[in-house]
Structure 1
Amino acid sequence: MVENVLISILIPVYNAERYLERCLDSVLAQTYGSFEIVAIDDGSSDGSPAILDAYAQREPKRVRVEHRANAGAAEARNRAIELARGEYVAFLDNDDWLDPDFLEQLASHVGEGADIVFGGYRRPHADGSVASEIVPHPGEEWAPFAVLAAWAKLYRREFLLANDLSFLSANIYEDLYFSIPAIYAAQRTEVVPYCGYNWFMNPESVSNTSQRTSEGLEFDRAMSALVDRVGVDASGRQDALFVHAMVRLGVFSLFLTRDGDGPELAAERTVLLRAWLDAHVPTWRSDLYARMGRPRGDSRGARIATWLFVCHPRLFAAALRLK
């Protein structure tokens, strides 16, 4: 373990008084000793600012807080990166928490300066039951993409700054503008077959709201910005895994909103997605990873859904209508 490497835990906070103490306590309970918390209060109107200030007063060497007008989670994370003092940073959402050995496990794989260390996550309910768990494994082609959120990883801060990696102010997929370009910019990465991040199945969270519709969600804007950010390789083509990732994201967006949209709008959005892919990801119809067993490391459901979308559109349409 590299015990002298300082790690900054970056937490955007907005009206999180119900879960914030659990989140902060999970960081303070880490078995790895060299860390700081950088919490950005994004204009909270509940008791979150007072909770943060109390922790900063009790742990002045560990906890730093900045209060600011509300500008969204993306801007809060970008500001936290600026304020961080650590050689590495990790992101934590205000209603989630870490296992006690999270930092210890990932820091032990920093080695000689890995740009990113990838870990896994679980999805616990309030009653303690676990809905799902994702653990990446070295050698799996999908491992760097297994967790597309920014959290459950360590990032070398100078690597982020040198590559101008930031979060996009959008109401959907804001993490992806940061995490996917980071994968392509990294020179050295480590995949750790370990799960220590708890992504709470919070029924009040925007990402977990059931029956949501596509109305107002900026899927096209976020995905277009991502395509522009990653660009093409030396041969002038988009990377094959990136092509697959974009198809998969589009498919996910359809399933995310199908119950709220209803079958007719979901069918219309499927047509629009295909047109968007034709314009922005021109090789998607020959997606090399749209296969039953590919990419290795992705979930079975995601592989099947993407394969049907690319290779069997009528079957995909039927699957989209299923409850």
Structure 2
Amino acid sequence: MDKTPDIAVIIPVYNTAEYLPDCMNSVLESRLKNIEIILVDDGSTDGKSPALCDEYANKDSRVRVIHKENGGLQSAWIAGVKDSTANYLCFIDSDDWVDSEMFEELFSHTSQAFKSCEIISSDYIIEKQNERKEVHHTISAGQHFGENLDNIKTRLLGQELRTVILSRCMKLTSRKLIINNLKYCDSSIRLGEDVNIMIPALCDCKRLYVSDVCYYHYRTVADSMAHGHNEKMLDNIKLLCDTCCKILTDKKITNAKEQADMEYLRLMFVYVKDELRARYPEAVATVSNTLKEDTIKNKIKNNKLEVSNKANKLIYFGMRHPSKVMLKVIQLILLTYDKKTN
């Protein structure tokens, strides 16, 4: 390329040869042509993905490939970040795809004055086999900075619906915001790991622009949606929320602990649902005992959540009244609903 690319598109790849063509076709057909595309093959073992990545690099000079030992999704996109040269980064997971106008439209909303410290984000669509669901930020479309942005930073975590979508995807993020905050990335976090990088990036950004158009398509794979007993989930929730609290404290966000505690409770909704749906004999007793632990009980008592979703209202009632009888009733309701909808 004759000049520095406008955007670096970073695509981690691990055994996704089935979906990568959809992803790459959407990127290569982008209206914005001055881009660099970095495919990071994270030690794929399917016998197809590495060669497919190389094939794209051989066909288009904008594409280059990093082949590395398997280290997980976070290590893959970090490798792409370090290899990038553009001022703005865009992350795409290799089983997802984007609309052809996404890069051009988002780049048109960047500001030369804020190019080292801004985030431009679209909304996205969840693509299931027989269903499409739009997901939007709850803040208004347009630009946010100054006092308005400071206020948003006090509401990043713990809301029923995200004030700002915290995925690293569907965004243009100033490269400097990512590079300066890689120190917060922790490979041991397996739940909501994107929050590790997007929370500090959002805290440091001086300008946030939100589009209300869904340019990004997030593919859900049925096999990955199974519910099951996860012994490590509580530890993951604690690790994630402790990390969030440290980040927000480091960034001098005044309500750091409150946000982290509220996020903890929101994630407990997921824990309770998954455990009760797992159907192992001790599920109800395990959830009941967990919710009665002093630390968790005090978080529930001291932080009042606003809940509008009907299923979450049921779960929240069970969290506040964690008797085995109540949780058994909730379990039966969840399993009956699942049977009707599956």
- Alignment partner for residue 122 of structure 1, among 122, 125, 128? 125
1:23 aligned residue:
23
C-alpha change, 1:235 and 1:224, in structure 2 (3 Å) is closer
Q: Is the 8 A contact 2:19 2:95 kept in 1?
A: yes
CA–CA separation in structure 1 for the residues paired with 2:320 and 2:296: 15
Q: Which moved more, 1:30-39 or 1:131-140?
A: 131-140
Written as runs of structure 1 = structure 2, the 5 A alignment for 1:187-198 is 187-198=206-217
Query: Which residue identity is paired with 2:182?
Result: D
1:297 aligned residue:
none
Written as runs of structure 1 = structure 2, the 5 A alignment for 1:1-323 is 6-46=6-46, 47-60=48-61, 62-111=62-111, 112-113=113-114, 115-126=118-129, 129-139=130-140, 145-164=163-182, 167-170=185-188, 171-204=190-223, 208-217=224-233, 219=236, 220-231=238-249, 237-238=255-256, 240-260=258-278, 262=280, 264-265=282-283, 268-269=286-287, 271-272=289-290, 275=293, 278=296, 285-287=301-303, 290-292=305-307, 300=309, 304=313, 308=317, 317=327, 318-319=329-330, 322-323=334-335
C-alpha change, 1:38 and 1:119, in structure 2 (3 Å) is same
Report the 3-state secondary structure (helix = DSSP H, G, I; strand = E; otherwise coil) of the residue aligned with 1:172: coil
CA–CA separation in structure 2 for the residues paired with 1:169 and 1:98: 27
Q: Is the 8 A contact 2:300 2:320 kept in 1?
A: no
- Deviation sequence 1:43-97 (CA, Å, 0-9, x none): 112200111001001112x111110111111111111111111111111111111
Deviation at 1:227, TM superposition (A): 3.1
Query: Which residue identity is paired with 1:157?
Result: R
Q: Is the 8 A contact 1:9 1:92 kept in 2?
A: yes
From the two aligned structures, give the one with the greater helix fraction. 2
CA–CA separation in structure 2 for the residues paired with 1:131 and 1:75: 30
What percentage of residue pairs aligned between the two structures are identical?
Answer: 24
- Deviation sequence 1:188-224 (CA, Å, 0-9, x none): 21222121111102124xxx33133213445233333
CA–CA separation in structure 2 for the residues paired with 1:264 and 1:223: 26
Q: Which moved more, 1:26-35 or 1:103-112?
A: 103-112
Query: Which residue identity is paired with 1:79?
Result: A
C-alpha change, 1:236 and 1:188, in structure 2 (3 Å) is closer
Q: Is the 8 A contact 2:275 2:283 kept in 1?
A: no
Report the 3-state secondary structure (helix = DSSP H, G, I; strand = E; otherwise coil) of the residue aligned with 1:199: strand
CA–CA separation in structure 2 for the residues paired with 1:154 and 1:215: 36
Q: Is the 8 A contact 1:99 1:196 kept in 2?
A: yes
Structure-2-length-normalised TM-score:
0.76
C-alpha change, 1:234 and 1:123, in structure 2 (3 Å) is closer
C-alpha change, 1:239 and 1:225, in structure 2 (3 Å) is closer
CA–CA separation in structure 1 for the residues paired with 2:89 and 2:310: 32
CA–CA separation in structure 1 for the residues paired with 2:295 and 2:121: 28
Give the aligned CA root-mean-square deviation in angstroms: 3.3
CA–CA separation in structure 2 for the residues paired with 1:276 and 1:152: 39
Gaps of 5+ in 1: 294-299
CA–CA separation in structure 2 for the residues paired with 1:93 and 1:83: 17
Q: Which moved more, 1:155-164 or 1:94-103?
A: 155-164
C-alpha change, 1:190 and 1:173, in structure 2 (3 Å) is same
Aligned residues: 305
Deviation at 1:234, TM superposition (A): 5.0
Q: Which moved more, 1:186-195 or 1:74-83?
A: 186-195
CA–CA separation in structure 2 for the residues paired with 1:273 and 1:152: 36
1:296 aligned residue:
none
C-alpha change, 1:69 and 1:164, in structure 2 (3 Å) is closer
Report the 3-state secondary structure (helix = DSSP H, G, I; strand = E; otherwise coil) of the residue aligned with 1:148: coil
2:338 aligned residue:
none
C-alpha change, 1:119 and 1:241, in structure 2 (3 Å) is farther
Q: Which moved more, 1:82-91 or 1:160-169?
A: 160-169
C-alpha change, 1:273 and 1:223, in structure 2 (3 Å) is farther
Deviation at 1:168, TM superposition (A): 2.6
